Chains A and B, each alone.
Chain A
Amino acid sequence: MSKSEPRIGVYVCHCGLNIGAVVDVAAVAQYAQTLPGVVVSRESTYTCSDNGQRSIQEDIENHNLSRVVVASCSPRMHGDTFMKTCETAGLNPYLFEMVNIREQCSWVHTDKEQATEKAKDLVRMAVAKVRLLEPLEKQKSAVNKAALVIGGGVAGIFSALYLANAGIKTYVVEKKPSIGGHMAQLDKTFPTLDCSLCILSPRMADIGKHENIELITYADIENISGYAGNFQVTVKSNPRYVIKENCRLCGVCAEKCPISLPDEFNMGLKKRKAVYIPFPQAVPNYYLIDAGHCLHITKGGCMLCQKNCPNDAIDFEETEAVRELNVGAIIVATGFELYDATQKKEYGYGRYPNVITNMDFERWVSADGPTHGKVVRPSDGAPPQRIGFIQCVGSRDEKEGAVYCSRICCMATVKQATMLREKYPSAEIYVYYTDMRTPGKGFEEFYQRGREHGIVFIRGKPGEIEEDDNHNLLIVSEDTDSGLILRNTLDLVVLACGLRPPEALEELAQKLHLSRSPDGFIMEAHPKLRPAETSISGVFLTGCVQFPKDIPDTVAQSGGAAAMAAALLTKDEIELEPVRAAVDEELCIGCGLCEENCDYGAIEVKKTEEGMKAQVIEVACQGCGVCAASCPQKAVTVRHFTDGQLLAQVTAALEPEVIV
């Protein structure tokens, strides 16, 4: 606490009518004047405006203010604004306190009198706290000018290219043996029907050969520590047992390999060998051995691939490689997982051979698929004549745990139905939908064209599918537009499965300390204004890991994420928030509760001459305060949120009520 009595200025904002319509702002400002230490108290229509800020600055100078309280909107919105205002006038920005009388008062209350009283309470609390605030200095930290992109789908590919083209060293880490993600599995893209891989594979190749990009595939993120500008990431690459430089892609190894397995890239509709290449355009473009199924690795012996390789490319001695990456920014682009249609038991996926998913369809219709692009009934190989699509499978379905709309399935179905129409001009094609959602450039036109070409859209989600002895599928549904009950016997049914956050996202989110929205996707820093940022500084988002979106939206967001990351990485140093934990070693008993509870690995108990003592790793600390809350000794305090400051606020809140 400063030795002289603090001189406090209080500014109460109308925020136009946002606050002014409910709270009597003048009364609050008048009341603030009566509080101890308050030298100036003013109301203003828009405190955040240049005028509003200037008045604060003038008061700091003319009235020699040593503390500032602004009662307006949320600190998240304008906290920085007013801190800068104070700083410009020569006042330490941490001698400022903000009161949210908009979200916490005017927006949530209708009773004007009581809302005004509450605003007064909140201001009184802030004044009580601001008296005890202490000036804090920001530390600076050098920026490591490299970026990490996690995920090598279209989102990761484009953010990495944007960064690399801006001259930034970029690491791309992909879990699978090849980059490309889900987009590589698609046959065509809506609404233009251009070939998905034709537009993606050149960019994939760019990743592979860009001088600023280092691609690490078939690898997992083991550990992430550090902070914006200075992350340490441990990456473990799995052995491929194939020497890249020697592999000529002749395929002899796979020819000789005795082990046959379902091919994941083709949704298990085709077989692959234990030594394989995920798909012809894979990047990096060389073979690998599936260690979990290779006969030599699991049981010993065999080695047919090695014996037959004309170029000595097989190396069973290869081991996993662990490496440390030092980067300044991280872009998370880990995409989505398709809803597991076997969960929706009433549709019989996995039991009825002729019920397939939208991703299965993509492989059936692909030239590299099991039938070289011919869509057939899986049960008998016959060309289907009556085809149904069911929308919203695992989306907009509270029972299945996803209330949200997956956004892309309506258009994906229109695309698939259109492709079927081209292949089978006389086929009957039905789409069972909840609502057709086509908001996008050229989307509605594409949908209307589908209707014109005789695709029948039925509003109503079927309750279940039954199968007859010939594997024909019987669907009973209500057409909610006409109220008619429709019975339809179909050859093939395609389930438009929704998009889900990948299961492995939980672990990654924990490692990065990212929050997730109720839908399970990663929470962005602000739903409108910061869609490519996260709550963790230096960590950015793009693609379906944030929320389901189509390819153009993903590419646009990748540009945003790359721009945000580049803005950080082109600085030489960044300022670190000084609101951090500090340990009083005299009081610390070395119990270790803080270390146990810290999510950021930012506090450690170490042996010192005085015994076991906790020590804060300043740069890693995010100032969350878990350590301070768990410390039984109050040996840990979080600057700017000390117990003394908070208790002063609490005491002020309870002030009018005296305990008997």
Chain B
Amino acid sequence: MDKLKFAFYWAASCGGCEIAVLDIDEKILNVVEKADIVFWPVALDTKYKDVEAFQDKYIDVCFFNGAIRTSEHEEMAHLLRAKSKTLVAFGACACFGGIPGLANVSDRDEIFDLVYRELPSVSNPDKTTPQLTYTAPEGELTLPQFFDTVKALHQVCDVDYFLPGCPPTPEMIEQAVTAIFEGTLPSKGSTLAPEKALCEECPLEIQEKKIPFIKRPYQVTPDGKRCLLEQGVICMGINTRAGCGARCIKANMPCRGCMGPTPEVADQGAKLVSAIASILGVEGEERMTEKEIEALIAQIKDPLGTFYRYTLPISLLRRKVIKK
């Protein structure tokens, strides 16, 4: 049998997904035994023009990590889609927009103003910001366009499978690769992770089902037994997909939702807001004044960054309204 052809690509990402691939350790040798890696910018010197030269569907499986932030990412998404039989959105950013997606509370002009003009460490007397073209003595130089809106991979091209996580665990990657080799992939569009919520994997116990107050993780010493929500820490586990093995919770940190919403949930953040609203400060709630309720809610610092940490671009909100 011919060896399979794999490709890896990184769009707007931190590089953690690349490391995650290497985290399968020596099993990478089993992979290269059965597959050739034909494109992997972080490790191989294959150029874009080489990829363009591939025949359509030349790549068997392309693992695409990172969100779509610039026109370069979008072009590569279309290119790799055309050249791959199977395209896998790899990691939270490709699946949901991820951390870079939080920039959707802003837009290009605001980001450029801040990053290239306003930050105290910036010295930019001409107030220059990145331009699409620049004519240098050597000729015309171009830069990819920086979009106003960060998108997930499936929002710009057709995606076959989703492998969520920040980053996906070595076990999930291994299972996915095994399924590819054995031809046991589920139907197109599936997420290669369990359908259940993290609570199914979580070792902690639910007792009270009430949250009297909200605290930030550093303000609480978890007792290691009770559900973190009951201890006042916002844990996204109740509507986050399982599959990570509750790694964060086992390290006494709340789930932050990197596996994305469970299958039925359309909007991970909104769902968690309504779940928390239903149990936060329930005791005596009907006697509270508007101000007391506001104070209760104000305990949640950075609600958008908490509830939509990984999923803003695919949420109902998607982004802030651009006034232009």
A residues sitting closer than 8 Å to B (CB atoms) are 584, 586-587, 589-593, 595-597, 626, 629-635, 643, 647, 659-660
C-alpha spacing A659/B148, complex, angstroms: 12
Task: Assess whether B199 is in contact with A589, with CB atoms less than 8 Å apart.
Answer: yes
Question: Contact at B209–A593, with CB atoms within 8 Å?
Answer: yes
| CB pair A629 B265 closer than 8 Å | no
State the CA gap A595–B279 with chains docked (Å).
11
- Within B170-213, which residues are at the interface with A (CB < 8 Å)? 195-197, 199-200, 206, 209-210
Q: Say yes or no: is B282 at the interface (Cβ < 8 Å to chain A).
A: yes
A595 touches B278 (CB 8 A): no
A592–chain B nearest beta-carbon distance, Å? 5
Q: A593-B278, A659-B318 are in contact. Are A633 and B239 (CB under 8 A)?
A: yes
B103 located at the interface, meaning its Cβ lies under 8 Å from any Cβ of chain A in the complex: no
One digit per residue, 1 when the CB lies within 8 angstroms of any chain A CB and 0 when it does not, for chain B 290-324 equals: 00000000000000000000000000001100100
Report the separation of the CA atoms of residues A590 and B227 in the bound assembly, to the nearest whole angstrom.
Answer: 13
A232 to chain B, nearest CB (A): 25
Taken together as a complex, chains A and B put the C-alpha atoms of A74 and B206 apart, in Å, by 43
Q: Does A630 lie within 8 Å of B319, measured CB to CB?
A: no
Q: Which residues of B contact A633 (CB under 8 A)?
A: 197, 238-239, 262, 264-265
Query: Are B199 and A595 in contact, with the CB atoms below 8 A?
Result: no
Classify the secondary structure of A's interface with B.
Answer: loop
CB-CB nearest 5 A-B residue pairs: A630-B278, A634-B264, A632-B238, A632-B239, A632-B275
B149 on the interface (CB 8 Å rule)? yes
Closest Cβ–Cβ distance, residue A516 to chain B (whole Å):
11
With A632-B197, A634-B271 already in contact, the answer to whether A587 and B262 are too (CB < 8 A) is yes
Inter-chain contact A659/B274, CB cutoff 8 Å? no
18 additional A-B residue pairs with CB within 8 Å, beyond A592-B209, A632-B271, A633-B265: A587-B195, A589-B196, A590-B199, A591-B206, A593-B238, A595-B209, A596-B209, A596-B279, A632-B197, A632-B239, A632-B275, A633-B238, A633-B264, A634-B262, A634-B271, A643-B266, A659-B319, A660-B148
Contacts of A589 in B (CB 8 A): 196-197, 199-200, 238
Contact check, A630 vs B262: say whether CB atoms are below 8 A apart: no
Shortest distance from the beta carbon of A207 to any chain B beta carbon, whole Å? 36
Which residues on A sit within 8 Å (CB–CB) of B263? 587
| Residues in chain A near residue B277, CB distance under 8 A | 630
Q: How large is the interface on B (under 10, 10 to 19, 20 to 34, 35 or more residues)?
A: 20 to 34
Cβ of A596 and Cβ of B275 under 8 Å apart?
no
With the chains together, A592 CA to B205 CA distance in Å? 12
Could you name 17 residue pairs across A and B whose Cβ atoms are closer than 8 Å?
A587-B262, A589-B196, A589-B197, A589-B199, A589-B200, A591-B238, A597-B279, A632-B197, A632-B272, A633-B197, A633-B238, A633-B262, A633-B264, A643-B264, A659-B318, A660-B148, A660-B149
**Given A589-B200, A591-B209, A596-B210: A629 touches B278 (CB 8 Å cut-off):** yes
Q: Roughly how many angstroms separate A584 CA and B266 CA in the complex, as a whole number?
A: 16
Pick the contact of B275 from A586, A631, A647, A659 — CB < 8 Å?
A: A631
- Cβ contact within 8 Å between B149 and A635: no
Residues of chain A within 8 A (CB-CB) of B264 are 584, 587, 633-635, 643
Query: Given the complex, which residues of A lie within 8 Å of B265, measured CB to CB?
Result: 632-634
8 A Cβ contacts from B153-179 to A: none
CA A587 to CA B242, docked complex, whole Å = 12
Shortest distance between the CB of A599 and any CB in chain B (Å): 12
B136-163, CB < 8 A from A:
148-149
If A591-B199, A630-B274, A647-B266 touch, does A596 touch B282 (CB 8 Å cutoff)?
yes
CA distance A635 to B239 in the complex (A): 10
Q: A635: which B residues are within 8 A, CB to CB?
A: 264
Question: Bound state CA distance, A122 and B215, in angstroms?
Answer: 42
**A630 contacts B197, C-beta separation under 8 Å:** no
> Which of B266, B274, B282 has a CB less than 8 Å from the CB of A629?
B274
- Cα-based distance from A596 to B279 in the complex (angstroms): 8
Distance in angstroms between the alpha carbons of A626 and B282 in the assembled complex = 14
A142 CA to B277 CA in the complex, in Å? 37
Proximity bits, B238-257, A CB within 8 Å = 1, else 0: 11000000000000000000
Q: From residue A239, how far is it (CB to closest CB) to chain B in Å?
A: 33
Distance between B140 CB and nearest chain A CB, rounded to angstroms: 29
Whose C-beta in chain B lies nearest to the C-beta of A626? B278
What is the bound-complex CA distance between A596 and B227, given in angstroms? 16
Contacts of A643 in B (CB 8 A): 264, 266
- When distances are taken between beta carbons in the complex, the residues of chain A under 8 Å from B210 are 596
